Amino acid sequence: MNTKEDVFISIASKWNNIDRKFVTDEMRTNTKHICYGIIYGMGVKSLAIVLKKDIDYTNNLIEQFHNTFPSIR
């Protein structure tokens, strides 16, 4: 991720398997929340509140994230 490009757009693009130009502001923001949540050990419940989603949805997002980026655990 050593680039001048927006890191969260790059991650969202790879995670959603879409071109960078199709990453929405919401996708970028959610990716940013999830990245920081994972880095700082935020629990699923707290992250669900931040994302304004239910716990099952948030658990699924986290699992998808880890499947896309398995070295980040």
What's the whole-model pTM score?
0.75
Q: What is the mean pLDDT of residues 57-61?
A: 91
Please check whether residue 2 lies inside any domain of the structure: no
Please check whether residue 73 lies inside any domain of the structure: no
Q: Would you state the pLDDT for residue 2?
A: 66
- Number of compact structural domains in the chain: 1
Give the type of residue at 42.
Answer: M
Q: What is the mean pLDDT of residues 49-60?
A: 92
Q: Is the pLDDT of residue 1 over 70?
A: no
In this structure, what token pair is assigned to residue 39?
């880095």
What is the span of the domain harbouring residue 18? 7-68
Instruction: Please say whether the beta carbons of 23 and 9 come within 8 A.
Output: yes
Please check whether residue 64 lies inside any domain of the structure: yes
pLDDT in tens, 28-37: 998 999 888 8
More confident residue, 20 or 69: 20
Please check whether residue 1 lies inside any domain of the structure: no
Please check whether residue 18 lies inside any domain of the structure: yes
Please check whether residue 60 lies inside any domain of the structure: yes
Q: Is the pLDDT of residue 6 over 90?
A: yes
